[in-house]
Amino acid sequence: MGGLAMIGAIAFDPTVRGILVVVVGTVVLMGSIFMILATNSGVRVGFLVATSGFFAWMFLMGAIWVIYGIGLKGRDPAWMPTDINYTRAVDVPGSPELAKLPAEEALPDPEELLESRPLLWALALGAEGESYQPTTLTKLKTVIQPWATVSTRDLYPVVQKAREQAGEVLAANPDVEQQLGQGGTALRDEVRKQANELREEIEAPLNGWCLLTESDPRRGEAQASADGALVDNHAYGDETSTASYIVKDVFFYGGKEPCNPITEESTLKQAWHRVATAFEIKNPKLYAAVTVVKAKEFPVVAGEAPPPATIEEGASTVTVAMLRNLGNKRFMPFMFTLASLIGFIVFTTILHYRDKQAMAIRAAFSGAGKGK
């Protein structure tokens, strides 16, 4: 009965119609080609020629699938959650590398780090507004990351806004106001230097872990996988949703890609990195740790916009540990290509030896009777 119900659920359009169209088109195309070859060259030779051409086409199509990662592909790379750690006081057996990541209390205060460099503080207020406060290390690194390689032209509008919006900082630090007034390459080099130094101060206590910025494209997929793990495991009760918590930081450990953008390096180093990682046989394990904090619950009045998300006082930090599964996206098309290549070689080899045998027979008959 279950099988009949399943068959009854299959609609004629488009499922059955699509199958019939593909079958008819395949039979007509291959059958017509085989019929033409069979009438011109014979059934056996026509079959060998048609089959060799079929496998040649399948080999070319499979090679394109492998190169571009399309068509008959396997599993895409994905993050596999290994553990949800509710307290950093307990080690995670599935992710021993997580023990190297310091707890949030052991990390430096982002506001103190920024205030220790008045020049970057003033520029941050100019770039993000007078009310900007780096509540997390991620927000701080997101702001200063572009300044590690900033150009004079890109820095100019930020400086102009900083002179308008960072009045208190400039009043307390006259030397900074003087630097902003001078501008030019000297200011650019100083901003680059301080941005790199501050970034190193952020990364030094992480023991090899990499803190991703909010603009890093790698952050989105890791955060989405962590959201799925928290919701599926009811981390904050049966009604857990993405509104139940606030994502703070996303950390990476291992892998082939460097922590900071490779585009900051020279063209030669970028090319060498591309070649070196391509020929690296074993893929180093890549871990991710997403830290979240419970959000405060507010009663939402009908017809009014909900209040902005706020961290609940006294809430502990929850860490979602994940391991990168590289998948087998190109393995299936590669095996398909390899099987097509083997089929092409087999049938063309048979065709080759048959041609040699036919030539030998024709040569033997053509020479018969010449000595009489």
pLDDT (tens digit, 9 = 90+) per residue, 334-351? 999 999 999 999 999 999
**If we measure between CA atoms, which residue out of 120, 133, 126 comes closest to residue 173?**
120
Q: How confident is the model at residue 90 (pLDDT cuts 50, 70, 90)?
A: low
* Among candidate residues 159, 184, 206, the one where a domain is terminated: 206
Same domain, 215 and 242: yes
- Segment 160-165 mean pLDDT: 90
- Segment 155-174 mean pLDDT: 89
Angstrom CA distances, 35 to 50, 53, 54, 134, stand at 10, 14, 14, 74
DSSP notation for 343-354: HHHHHHHHHHHH
Q: Which residues contact 158 (CB under 8 A, 6 or more apart)?
A: 123, 126, 127
Within-domain flag for 126: yes
Same domain, 151 and 292: no
Same domain, 188 and 221: no
Q: Using CA atoms, how far apart are residues 117 and 46, in angstroms rounded to an integer? A: 80
* Among candidate residues 206, 232, 267, the one where a domain is terminated: 206
Q: Using CA atoms, how far apart are residues 183 and 194, in angstroms rounded to an integer? A: 15
* Among candidate residues 206, 225, 241, the one where a domain is terminated: 206
Same domain, 168 and 228: no
Q: Using CA atoms, how far apart are residues 278 and 256, in angstroms rounded to an integer? A: 10
- Segment 303-328 mean pLDDT: 85
Q: Using CA atoms, how far apart are residues 39 and 54, in angstroms rounded to an integer? A: 18
Same domain, 165 and 197: yes
Show the DSSP H helices in the chain as ranges: 2-8, 17-41, 43-68, 110-115, 118-128, 137-144, 152-165, 167-172, 174-182, 184-203, 217-232, 267-278, 331-366
Same domain, 88 and 218: yes
Within-domain flag for 372: no
Same domain, 321 and 336: no
Same domain, 22 and 44: yes
Within-domain flag for 232: yes
Q: Using CA atoms, how far apart are residues 128 and 161, in angstroms rounded to an integer? A: 10
Same domain, 218 and 320: yes
pLDDT in tens, 244-294: 899 999 999 999 888 888 888 888 998 998 888 888 888 899 999 999 999
Same domain, 68 and 117: no
Distance in angstroms between the alpha carbons of the first and the last residue of the chain:
81
Confidence at residue 307, expressed as pLDDT on a 0 to 100 scale: 76
Domain hosting 64: range is 2-73+332-366
Same domain, 120 and 14: no
DSSP state of 42: -
Within-domain flag for 219: yes
Q: With a threshold of 0.95, does the pTM exceed it?
A: no
Number of domains in the chain: 3
**If we measure between CA atoms, which residue out of 311, 317, 324, 322 comes closest to residue 249?**
317
- Contact between 298 and 311 under an 8 Å Cβ cutoff? The reply is no
- Contact between 288 and 222 under an 8 Å Cβ cutoff? The reply is yes
Q: Using CA atoms, how far apart are residues 189 and 265, in angstroms rounded to an integer? A: 16
Token pair belonging to 20: 């019939």
pLDDT at 93 over 70: no
pLDDT in tens, 67-76: 999 988 889 9
Burial 244-256 (b: 16+ CB within 10 A, else e): bbbbbbbbbbbbe
Same domain, 170 and 265: no
Within-domain flag for 248: yes
Within-domain flag for 371: no
Neighbour-count burial of 335, counting CB atoms closer than 10 A to its CB (0-12 exposed, 13-18 middle, 19+ buried): middle
